[in-house]
Amino acid sequence: MKVFTKTSIVLAAVAAIALSGCAEKKVCNTPVAKIAKVDNRDAEIKALQAELAEARAKSAKVVTVTKTVKGPNELYPPNAEPGKCYARVLVPAKYEIKTEKVLVKEPGERVEVIPAKYGWKTEKVLVKEASEKIVPVPAQYKTVTEKILVKPATKKLVKVPAKYKTVTEKILVKPAATTWKRGRGLVEKVDGTTGEIMCLVETPPVYKTITKKVLVSPATVKEVEVPAVYKTITKRVVAKPATTKTVPVPAVYKTVKVKTVIEPAKTKTIPIPPVYKTVTKKVKVSEPVLKWKVVKCRTVLH
């Protein structure tokens, strides 16, 4: 790595002109021009190399230029042709505008906390524990019907009255007889003189119906049994006496709404992509170099 400044560039140009022997009259009185007139070419080259080395040393801290050292004969133009003058000309560095993607932020991860999800549910809460209690069982009654004797059976004499029956009889009131009766029309006339009709008519007997009571059986006395007299009564009797029993008392519960966790809280790792920025910058393509170029000079002209 060699460092050049504007001063070194000027000195290099002056040295090139001196080597070509074509400096103007106004600059020919300089020490470099005097050295160029010396016939001993080796001495001229050594002097110029010394001056160039001194100029390079002074400007080493200002500009850095990469230069490839080609060897000890770098002050001579390559492939030089007789009758031509050459000068070392500084070719400036070449730059290009390039756009590139620059990483601004490295990729990373972000931890996101997902809160728990809650909901409501119904629960049965014990209010009172199960227990037992003694309960009296009342007596049980029933209604029964009983027949009780009021008067025992006896015997007694009973007078049986006479029995009669009613009969109907037909008795003759008037016997049958014949009698004359007058006729009732011309057909029944017998005597045409008087015109009076007489008929002999039979009169039937006359009967009368009478009803009379006839004794069937005379009055008597008989012994009759008098049955016992009973009375039906209804009464309430004990069917089952009173007792006690142990009754279980169930537990008492209360329904309440309880807030419960449906989904617990959790964390989620989210990758964060890298952040890039597109920047445009000037990139050096080639370093500044000294090149030999053909120039016009007095040495060739004279």
Overall size of the chain counted in residues? 302
Averaged pLDDT for residues 225-232: 90
In the predicted structure, residue 146 carries a pLDDT above the cut 60: yes
**What are the pLDDT digits (tens) for 78-116?**
888 888 888 888 888 888 898 888 888 898 888 989 999
State residue 260's pLDDT score.
Answer: 87
Q: Is 59 helix (H, G, I), strand (E, B) or coil?
A: coil
| CA dist., res. 289 & res. 90, Å (int) | 6
DSSP β-bridge partners for residue 201: 179
Q: What is the pLDDT of residue 136?
A: 92
- Determine the pLDDT at residue 76: 75
φ and ψ at residue 128, rounded to 5 degrees: -140, 135
pTM: 0.25
Q: What is the pLDDT of residues 1-51, one digit of tens each?
A: 333 444 444 444 444 444 444 333 333 344 434 434 444 556 766 776 776
What does the alpha-carbon distance between residue 51 and residue 7 come to, in Å, rounded to a whole number? 12
Query: Which pLDDT does position 65 carry in this prediction?
Result: 38
Q: What is the mean pLDDT of the chain?
A: 75
pLDDT greater at residue 188 or residue 22: 188
* pLDDT in the model for residue 186: 53
pLDDT given for residue 250 in this prediction: 92
pLDDT of 77 reads: 80
Q: What angle do CA 83, 87, 93 make, to 5 degrees?
A: 145
Place of tokens 């002999």: 200
Q: Which residues contact 165 (CB under 8 A, 6 or more apart)?
A: 213, 214, 216
Give 26 or 157, the one with higher predicted confidence: 157
CA distances from 205 to 200, 214, 267 (A): 16, 27, 147
pLDDT at 252: 92
| Residue-level pLDDT at 182 | 73
- What are the φ/ψ torsions at residue 52 (nearest 5 degrees)? -65, -40
Q: How large is the C-alpha radius of gyration of the chain?
A: 88
Residue 193 has pLDDT above 60, yes or no: no
Separation between Cα atoms, residue 225 and residue 152, nearest integer Å: 11
The answer, yes or no, to whether residue 198 has pLDDT greater than 60, is: yes
Assign residue 208 a region (left: φ > 0; alpha: ψ between -120 and 50; beta: otherwise).
Answer: beta
Q: What pLDDT sits at residue 6? A: 41
Q: What is the pLDDT of residues 230-251, one digit of tens each?
A: 999 998 888 899 999 999 999 9
Q: Is 9 exposed, middle or buried (0-12, 13-18, 19+ CB in 10 A)?
A: buried
Weakest mean pLDDT among 41-50, 170-179, 221-230, 273-282: 41-50
Nearest to 51 by CA among 29, 34, 71: 34
